[in-house]
Structure 1
Amino acid sequence: MAAAHHISVSYLHRLFQDHETTVSAWIRSQRLERARRDLAEPALRAVPVHRIAARWGFSDHATFTRSFRSAYDIPPKEYRQQHVLRHPARSGRDL
């Protein structure tokens, strides 16, 4: 991340000191948020949870599930099921 922004690693960590988080915690939260968004996406309902997790850099399904539950107080599978009930799939005519 530091190299991509042409800054030193130590400067990157200093930038995060004032935000009460670490670089790795921020990255993890961003990855979890993107996975959460994908789990709620009607067009991705057929994609297995572990594939969505892998898409956002979680190679281990159990680690992803624990992290997701810790962040959102619900396992990813249940989150998806609850969201599907609130937002039923649209028919092809609506697209």
Structure 2
Amino acid sequence: MGSLLVGFLLRLTRSSDSFRSSDASRLETVLLDLVAALFAHEIDAEDALPSETGRQVLALRVRAFIDSHLHDPELTPTAIAAAHHISVSYLHRIFQEEAPTYGGPTTVMGHVRERRLERARRDLADPALRTRPIHEIAHRWGFTHQTSFTRAFRARYHMPPAEYRRTRDAARSAPRLMHSPPTAA
């Protein structure tokens, strides 16, 4: 439970600029639900939590599970639902209901694809991975076909992965211009 709370707080702080002020009350509710679930878990009183809190915690558990299994090309709604002992239709409903809070895709596979693309983009920008072929990076994050990865990446970031990598490399190697403060005459 503690790791779910920490994960939520980290994600919240890392993407705080993407939230609108109207999101504050929903995010506050999720945070309070997580804190309540953490305390209930610690004192072994999870049955006393309101059903809404349990649903919020389940949604965060599902998202954490997805993040830890992005590498698996067999990560499907069926596999995710089975791992959490829920029906596939309930899993889909969770994502539809949670979309306003997280500001992301409303489908399970849309969320999986978005997270995989984020991780692949991060790896393509990483200088330490410059020599790793793009198809290996795609495969690392669960994409089984280079063409489907390239198509999805282009649709999301408006350029193919190779061009993205080149622009990141060029930006890193560009000389930095130093501006001197104006001198007094």
Task: Decide: shared fold, TM above 0.5.
Answer: yes
d(CA) in 1 for partners of 2:94, 2:137 = 30
**Over aligned residues, Cα RMSD in angstroms?**
1.3
Deviation digits for residues 29-75 of structure 1, max 9, x if unmatched? 10011000000001000000011001111111111100000011010
Larger Rg: 2
Aligned to 2:89: 10
| TM-score w.r.t. length of structure 1 | 0.85
Aligned to 2:162: 77
Q: Which has the higher helix share?
A: 2
Tell me the amino acid that sits aligned with residue 24 of structure 1.
M
- Structure 1, unpaired ranges of 5+: 89-95
**2:62 matches 1:62:** no
Aligned length: 88
User: Which has the higher relative contact order, 1 or 2, with Cα contacts under 8 A spaced 6 or more apart?
Assistant: 1
d(CA) in 1 for partners of 2:82, 2:129 = 33
Aligned to 1:51: 136
- Structure 2, unpaired ranges of 5+: 1-79, 100-104, 174-185
d(CA) in 2 for partners of 1:4, 1:72 = 31
d(CA) in 2 for partners of 1:85, 1:6 = 47
Matched residues, percent identical? 59
